[in-house]
Structure 1
Amino acid sequence: MIIRRATISDAPGIAKVHVDSWRTTYKGIIPQSFLDGLSYEQRTKLWENNISDKPSMIFVAENEGEIIGFVTGGKRNTNEEAGASDLTSIYLLEEWQGKRVGKKLLNQIMNVFLEQGYQKIYVEVLAENKTRQFYQYYSAEYVKTVQLNIAGEILNEEIYVWNNVEKVIQQSK
């Protein structure tokens, strides 16, 4: 398995991971009608645009030519804090969860954040998403809960922060 920067040709593979992981991770959290409406084609177009956006940071985990996970980062429009950035997503196919792939993706993006001079990184995760424990394990500290609307459902989203990127890198080696 390798971790590498995403290229435009990875868009379909990233889209598949995105759709499939949302359907498994958010089942029973996000309305099923929304999850059923996700499509590989729409997500492929989204990822082609995201990868073409030069400031974005997108890395994939690839195993024997198949994309099995990805991580993205970059400063959200809502993040006005100087010296801070955001881990915007990290998703893995369900069968690859718990096999250290997420740890390797986290390490990769944290190294890039460090190279860019960031020491404070935020991440947002649905409160009912059990994978929020992944962030807690790697020392992310709870900041606050906000509400958001997905497909007509009001959901709680927790915001976490890492205040020391080097510590996360050491912990995720």
Structure 2
Amino acid sequence: MKIREATMQDAQDIGKVHVDSWRTTYKDIIPDSFLNNLSYEQRTELWKKNITIKDNYVLVVENELGEIIGFATASTRETNDVPYSSDLTSIYLLEECQGKGIGKQLLKELFIFFKKKNHQSIFVEVLAGNKTRYFYEYYGAEYVKTVQINIGGKVLEEFVYVWKNIDKVLETLE
């Protein structure tokens, strides 16, 4: 397994992982019609854009064959007005790669990045039905509030969490 910063050449593979992981992660949470309409081409274009945004930090994880099996991103959301903070905006892995410690390694790399940037608190937003929230809670994320969002015509609850001590998270991830 190798974790590295994404390049433009990775956009297509990230787009594929994005679609495939959403279809498994959000099955029975987000409407099937929305998930079925996700396209590799649209997500590839999204990732070409995301990779070029200066303040985005995009990581990929490759398996032993050099295939991208997951990704993670950090950036500060436009809605985040908390001084000295940033956002963990995604961690996604192909379903068959979950539960093997890869997410923990991606989380660690993101928090090393946050520390280098001198951020003091990190936010993450997670759909209430997404069991990944337990992963974030395990590593010290504290519940802040619930917001409602609309995906595919369905109103969903999204939990907002925060980490207030980056050093403590990094200690937990050792």
TM-score normalised by the chain length of structure 2? 0.98
Aligned to 2:49: 49
State the shift of 1:121 in Å.
Answer: 0.1
State the shift of 1:55 in Å.
Answer: 1.4
State the shift of 1:62 in Å.
Answer: 0.7
Q: Give the match's secondary structure for 1:78.
A: coil
Aligned to 1:145: 146
Q: Give the match's secondary structure for 1:125.
A: strand
Q: CA RMSD in A?
A: 0.7
Q: What does residue range 1-173 of structure 1 map to in structure 2 within 5 Å?
A: 1-63=1-63, 64-173=65-174
Equivalent AA in structure 2 for residue 37 of structure 1? N
State the shift of 1:157 in Å.
Answer: 0.2
Of all paired residues, the percent bearing the same amino acid is 60
Structure 2, gaps ≥5 residues long: none
Q: Give the match's secondary structure for 1:95.
A: helix
Runs of 4 or more, structure 1, over 4 Å off, are: none
**C-alpha separation between the residues in 2 aligned to 1:46 and 1:111?**
25
Equivalent AA in structure 1 for residue 169 of structure 2? V
State the shift of 1:53 in Å.
Answer: 1.1
Q: Give the match's secondary structure for 2:38.
A: coil
**CA deviation map 1:52-109 (0-9, x unaligned):** 1121100011112110111001110000010110000110000110001000000001
State the shift of 1:172 in Å.
Answer: 1.5
TM-score normalised by the chain length of structure 1? 0.98
Equivalent AA in structure 2 for residue 2 of structure 1? K
Equivalent AA in structure 1 for residue 132 of structure 2? T
**C-alpha separation between the residues in 2 aligned to 1:157 and 1:56?**
22
State the shift of 1:141 in Å.
Answer: 0.4
Equivalent AA in structure 1 for residue 126 of structure 2? V
**C-alpha separation between the residues in 1 aligned to 2:44 and 2:144?**
33
Equivalent AA in structure 2 for residue 93 of structure 1? L
**C-alpha separation between the residues in 1 aligned to 2:84 and 2:15?**
30
State the shift of 1:169 in Å.
Answer: 1.2
**CA deviation map 1:100-159 (0-9, x unaligned):** 100000000110000000020000000011111110010100011010011110000000
Structure 1, gaps ≥5 residues long: none
